[in-house]
Structure 1
Amino acid sequence: MLKECLCLGVVGNVPNHLNQANEAKDFCELNTSDFAPKGVFPFYSKDSKKEFLRRFCISENELILDGDFVQIEPELCVIFKASYKDNELSSLKPQYFAAFNDASKRVNEEKISLKKNFSNASKGIGNLIALNNLEELNEYKIHCYLKRNNELIKYANEDYIKNYFYYSDTLISWLIETINNQTDIATLENIKPLIANKPENILICLGALSYTPFGEKHYLKSGDEIYVSVTNKDDIFNSGSTLKQIVR
């Protein structure tokens, strides 16, 4: 199913993440609130005219580096069933959720998408869990740890999913409007061509956590182990949706 999905990410939906990633400056020209997401970006589409975006890049167990300066981006992803009216997206119905690593290169590029799909395993997804609406996740948190040299280190600050700037019906309405109308501006790009063939399912990452001091300063290297979970339990590694990736 994942290979048939259009895969998108939301940028700027968590306090301080853009500043820590040194990307806030990329959106100065946008007329958006400090407490609202900036836009969406693609990281996989089998229908894209761009060759690198047609490369399926989601793995369940490994992350393959292509150069340096890669950071974990731990977040919630939701697979939505998409409906269309005429040639526009008209509705998004949640079907599944999962822990996700939207890993990103910290390099200067013209568009965000160029930092995202850098290998055939540049993204990570946990086990899919059925979902009827986003409110079911109100008491769930996202967690992220890195294991390096046998030491387990908190890489990002855990937070409730309900603390996203935009969430629930507000987020879904904004997503539909943005996917239909976003233009090539700043490091964002026009998404409308990617829904021309009306993909039945759209996987969307809702935004990455802010980093701990360690996570902000340390990039991934071969041999690291990545742990991301989305759960409402104390046992964060064995409940809800969990992801473990080995860095290659």
Structure 2
Amino acid sequence: MTKDTIGFGIAGNFARHLEQAGESADFVGIETADEDAPKGIFPTYVPHCNTLLGIYPFSSATIAKPQIPGQETPIQMEPEIALLCDMTYENGKVAAIIPTHFGAYNDCSIRIEGAPKISVKKNWGANSKGITAHMTPLDSFSPGGMLDHYALTSFIKRDGILHQYGEDSPLLTYSYFYDKLTDWIVEKLNHQRETGPLEDLSALIEQAGYPAEMLISIGATRYTPYGESHFLEKGDILYIIAYDMRIHTHEAITGMAERDAFHEEGISLLRQTVV
């Protein structure tokens, strides 16, 4: 992953997350292929763009609270899996995406009403997104592969007390996953046009110079009652952990977060401090 890697995210790939985040009304007019389909794709980072989207937002260590004069800017952690994908093109269109690596990701978001586009709430400058420092190579992105056995969980440590922030969720509970997801992504990259909170993705890809690589987060898990009702504060320590359920239990992962000490095998860890 480099600063030429384009960044995208997927909205609505976990049942009920948009309702918890107060964003379901933004998508009332958006048509989807079926009831379970994600709502769309939004940009998080566009190389060579002259707006905020052109500022590299990814950090493996910190989340910077936004400073917008005269405006309350509550932010929430959004625990996700991100896929690092090779991209190929044909006649100016995305021909295929090939996921090569995965990792824990924080699609941290400002909670403001009336934002014209999703991306306004996603990239407010440096250190507004989180990505694990070590992406994990994939054996495949298909049934029978390693991700069949992974789950995603998240915590916040505030004043020394650990709280579960997002629900512990096997990756197979994503609404769209594997080929169904990658086929949908390619279709949206080529055909999503500016409508409501969504943007014209093919125009952004062209602006970025048809990048060879893409980082795409594939949707946030549902919040626990604590996560749904608590915004981030300076000094919070955030943990987003993808773990192999054949090696670790959720109780063991919770204990690692309590101690702030993690085993490396079978874990993708993102640990950030809010500043």
Indicate the TM-score class for this superposition, using the shorter chain for normalisation.
Answer: over 0.9
- In 2, Cα distance between equivalents of 1:86 and 1:213: 48
- List runs of 5+ in structure 2 lacking aligned partners: 68-72, 254-261
Given that 1:65 and 1:119 are in contact with CA atoms closer than 8 Å, whether structure 2 keeps it comes out as: no
- In 2, Cα distance between equivalents of 1:47 and 1:163: 35
User: What does residue range 224-243 of structure 1 map to in structure 2 within 5 Å?
Assistant: 224-232=236-244, 233-234=248-249, 235-236=252-253, 237-239=262-264, 240-243=267-270
User: What does residue range 33-112 of structure 1 map to in structure 2 within 5 Å?
Assistant: 33-48=34-49, 50-67=50-67, 68-108=73-113, 109-112=115-118
Q: 2:157: which partner in 1?
A: 147
- In 1, Cα distance between equivalents of 2:45 and 2:188: 17
User: What does residue range 170-209 of structure 1 map to in structure 2 within 5 Å?
Assistant: 170-196=180-206, 197-209=209-221
Q: Which amino acid aligns with 1:124?
A: G
Corresponding residue SS for 1:185:
coil
- In 2, Cα distance between equivalents of 1:164 and 1:152: 26
- Tell me which structure has the larger Cα radius of gyration: 2
Q: 1:219: which partner in 2?
A: 231
Deviation at 1:95, TM superposition (A): 1.1
Corresponding residue SS for 1:171:
helix
- The TM-score with structure 2 as length reference comes to 0.87
Pick one of 234, 245, 248 that aligns with 2:272.
245
Q: 1:123: which partner in 2?
A: 129
Q: Which amino acid aligns with 1:208?
A: A
Deviation at 1:34, TM superposition (A): 3.0
Q: Deviations over 1:189-242 (max 9, x none)?
A: 101012222100000000001000010010001000000011112343434110
Q: CA RMSD in A?
A: 1.2
Q: Which amino acid aligns with 2:99?
A: P
Corresponding residue SS for 2:66:
coil
Q: 1:166: which partner in 2?
A: 176
- List runs of 5+ in structure 1 lacking aligned partners: none
- The TM-score with structure 1 as length reference comes to 0.96
Deviation at 1:133, TM superposition (A): 2.1
Q: Which shifted more, 60-69 or 14-23?
A: 60-69
Given that 1:47 and 1:194 are in contact with CA atoms closer than 8 Å, whether structure 2 keeps it comes out as: no
Deviation at 1:163, TM superposition (A): 1.1
- In 2, Cα distance between equivalents of 1:142 and 1:200: 28
Question: Number of matched residues?
Answer: 247
- In 2, Cα distance between equivalents of 1:142 and 1:177: 26
Corresponding residue SS for 1:83:
strand
**Percent of matched pairs sharing the same residue:** 34
- In 1, Cα distance between equivalents of 2:274 and 2:263: 21
Given that 1:94 and 1:132 are in contact with CA atoms closer than 8 Å, whether structure 2 keeps it comes out as: no
- In 2, Cα distance between equivalents of 1:227 and 1:138: 22
- In 1, Cα distance between equivalents of 2:140 and 2:7: 19
Corresponding residue SS for 1:138:
helix
Corresponding residue SS for 2:219:
strand
Deviation at 1:47, TM superposition (A): 2.9
